[in-house]
């Protein structure tokens, strides 16, 4: 992606997104949408219970808040979290919990580290939190299900994608718009990898026979002018501003109270420093190798089984560790 239009303003594209789309200093794609993760909470419930959400909560504080705010008989749950198995569902979130507990997917020699105390502590905490203070059937709830629960007033807290802010603050889609507060994604041992970074981006394959036309299309779709048009016409949409650019009009900032916060979350997420210990891969809620998809399904399904009470934490992590080791060994990563 070189020789972009003079008015494209590449410097305005968030650096974290540019870095994730570059290799050896060469940009290979342009981001249309970028997100991180954050904590949403009900300000009215916190105030009524005499609680105060800190700007940077810990997971121990989240657990205490959830215990206080859960009233299952009234259909009020202290916490909603992704429990549905899938790379884009429970593993996107669970990986950040594992990271902040000090865990990692692999050590420096590509030996799987899933069956470790850090993973055990993280998954045990996550499963117990949902069991004690989450909604019923949590192992079937993904982003959309939890969004429905939160926007209808059933959840006191929800930790998920920054993209949800646009919906929760939209009066036509949320019953709790004026009662939503937000804070950073929680931490435990380390802030590294506690909130994710993800982007939907546009690139041009080498096999393209219409590279010039494709490049013009990509540049237009991700340009500052298109982004500003989206600001003006789509405020309140699930993806206002899309998080891909740093500059926003004053009117937009006023209409979208979470805009600056989301940008800060995105810019502070570092896929090259997502773990407390050294790792051979990049990525926060994923491992940046093609083989990742061959074992994340096994890990995600096993952890969903833990949430559903179908399998123990030890057995789930052993199965995940074996699948990860097998995948990277076959691919030649392990020496």
Query: Other C-beta atoms within 10 Å of 314: how many?
Result: 13
> What Cα–Cα distance (Å) separates residue 101 from each residue in 73, 81, 124, 134?
32, 17, 11, 21
For position 110, what pLDDT does the model report?
Answer: 98
Which tokens sit at 55?
A: 């700007």
Is residue 289 located within the same domain as residue 157? Answer: yes
- Per-residue model confidence as pLDDT tens digits over 259-290: 888 888 998 999 999 999 999 999 999 999 99
For position 119, what pLDDT does the model report?
Answer: 98
Is residue 112 located within the same domain as residue 211? Answer: no
Beta strands per DSSP E along the chain: 22-23, 26-27, 30-35, 37-42, 157-161, 180-184, 198-202
Measured distance CA(212)–CA(215) in Å, rounded: 5
Q: How confident is the model at residue 107 (pLDDT cuts 50, 70, 90)?
A: very high
Q: Give the burial string for 286-303 (b: 16+ CB within 10 Å, else e).
A: bbebebbebbbebbbbbb
For position 243, what pLDDT does the model report?
Answer: 62
* Structural domain contains residue 223: yes
| pTM of the complete model | 0.92
Is residue 107 located within the same domain as residue 226? Answer: no
Q: Is the pLDDT of residue 233 over 70?
A: no
Query: Other C-beta atoms within 10 Å of 139: how many?
Result: 21
* Structural domain contains residue 261: no
> What Cα–Cα distance (Å) separates residue 157 from each residue in 102, 149, 280?
23, 10, 34
DSSP one-letter code for 135 = P
In the chain, % of residues over pLDDT 70: 93
Is residue 205 located within the same domain as residue 326? Answer: no
Sign for the pseudo-dihedral over CA of 154, 157, 160, 162: positive
* Structural domain contains residue 265: no
> For the chain, what is the mean pLDDT?
91
Residue 327 burial by Cβ neighbours in a 10 Å radius (0-12, 13-18, 19+): buried
* Structural domain contains residue 2: no
Q: Who wins on pLDDT, 163 or 48?
A: 48
What is the average per-residue pLDDT within 308-324? Answer: 97
Is residue 245 located within the same domain as residue 106? Answer: no
- Per-residue model confidence as pLDDT tens digits over 48-65: 999 999 999 999 999 999
* Structural domain contains residue 4: no
Is residue 30 located within the same domain as residue 89? Answer: no
Q: Is the pLDDT of residue 20 over 90?
A: no
DSSP one-letter code for 192 = T
Chain-centroid distance, C-alpha 139: 18
On the CB side of 163, how many CA atoms lie within 13 Å of its CA? 17
Comparing 10-24, 66-80, 105-119, 321-335, the range with the smallest average pLDDT is: 10-24
For position 88, what pLDDT does the model report?
Answer: 86
For position 15, what pLDDT does the model report?
Answer: 87
Name the CA dihedral angle for 83, 86, 92, 93, rounded to a multiple of 10 degrees: 10
Please say whether the beta carbons of 275 and 182 come within 8 A. Answer: no
Contacts of residue 22, defined as CB under 8 A and 6 or more positions apart, other chains included, come to: 28
Is residue 243 located within the same domain as residue 112? Answer: no
Q: How many domains does the structure of the chain reveal? A: 2
In the chain, % of residues over pLDDT 90: 73
Name the CA dihedral angle for 181, 186, 192, 197, rounded to a multiple of 10 degrees: -50
Q: Which domain holds residue 172?
A: 37-195+272-330
Q: Across the strands, what pairs with 26?
A: 23
Write the CATH number for 213. Answer: 3.40.190.10
Measured distance CA(158)–CA(167) in Å, rounded: 13
Query: 152 by DSSP, 3-state: which?
Result: coil
What is the average per-residue pLDDT within 34-44? Answer: 96
Is residue 230 located within the same domain as residue 292? Answer: no
* Structural domain contains residue 292: yes
Is residue 140 located within the same domain as residue 182? Answer: yes
DSSP states of 58-83: BHHHHHHHHHHH-BGGGTBBS-B---
Measured distance CA(157)–CA(42) in Å, rounded: 7
* Structural domain contains residue 5: no
Please say whether the beta carbons of 285 and 196 come within 8 A. Answer: yes
> What Cα–Cα distance (Å) separates residue 318 from each residue in 117, 143, 308?
12, 27, 18
Is residue 188 located within the same domain as residue 43? Answer: yes
Q: Is the pLDDT of residue 5 over 60?
A: yes
Boundary-marking domain end, from 228, 256, 284: 256
Is residue 51 located within the same domain as residue 162? Answer: yes
Is residue 164 located within the same domain as residue 280? Answer: yes
The contacts found for 143-149 with CB under 8 angstroms, 24 or more apart, are: 143/82, 143/88, 143/89, 145/84, 146/80, 146/81, 146/82, 149/77, 149/80
Q: Is the pLDDT of residue 68 over 90?
A: yes
């Amino acid at each position: 992606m070189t020789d972009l239009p003079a008015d494209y303003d590449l410097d305005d594209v968030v650096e974290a997104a540019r870095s994730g789309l570059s290799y050896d200093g060469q940009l290979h794609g342009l981001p249309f949408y970028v997100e991180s993760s954050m904590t949403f909470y009900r300000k009215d419930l916190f105030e009524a219970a005499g609680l105060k959400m800190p700007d940077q909560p810990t997971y121990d504080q989240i657990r205490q808040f959830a215990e206080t705010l859960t009233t299952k008989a009234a259909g009020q749950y202290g916490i909603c979290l992704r429990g549905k198995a899938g790379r884009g569902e429970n593993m996107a979130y669970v990986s950040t919990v594992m990271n902040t507990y000090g865990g990692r997917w692999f050590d420096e020699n590509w030996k799987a580290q899933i069956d470790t105390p850090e993973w055990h502590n993280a998954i045990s905490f996550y499963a117990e939190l949902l069991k004690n203070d989450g909604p019923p059937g949590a192992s079937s709830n993904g982003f959309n299900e939890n969004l429905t629960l939160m926007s209808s007033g059933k959840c006191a807290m929800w930790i998920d994608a920054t993209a949800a802010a646009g919906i929760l603050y939209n009066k036509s889609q949320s019953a709790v718009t004026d009662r939503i507060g937000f804070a950073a994604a929680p931490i435990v041992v380390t802030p590294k990898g506690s909130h994710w970074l993800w982007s939907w981006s546009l690139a041009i394959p080498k096999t393209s026979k219409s590279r010039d036309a494709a490049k013009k299309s990509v540049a237009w779709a991700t340009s500052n002018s298109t982004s500003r048009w989206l600001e003006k016409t789509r405020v309140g949409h699930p993806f206002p501003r899309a998080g891909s650019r740093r500059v926003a009009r004053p009117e937009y900032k006023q209409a979208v109270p979470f805009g600056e916060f989301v940008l800060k979350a995105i810019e502070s997420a570092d896929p090259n420093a997502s773990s407390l210990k050294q790792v051979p891969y990049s990525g926060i809620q994923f491992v940046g190798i093609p083989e990742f998809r061959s074992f994340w399904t096994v890990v995600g399904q096993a952890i969903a089984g833990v949430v559903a009470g179908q399998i123990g934490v030890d057995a789930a992590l052993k199965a995940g560790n074996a699948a990860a080791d097998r995948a990277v060994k076959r691919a030649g990563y392990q020496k």
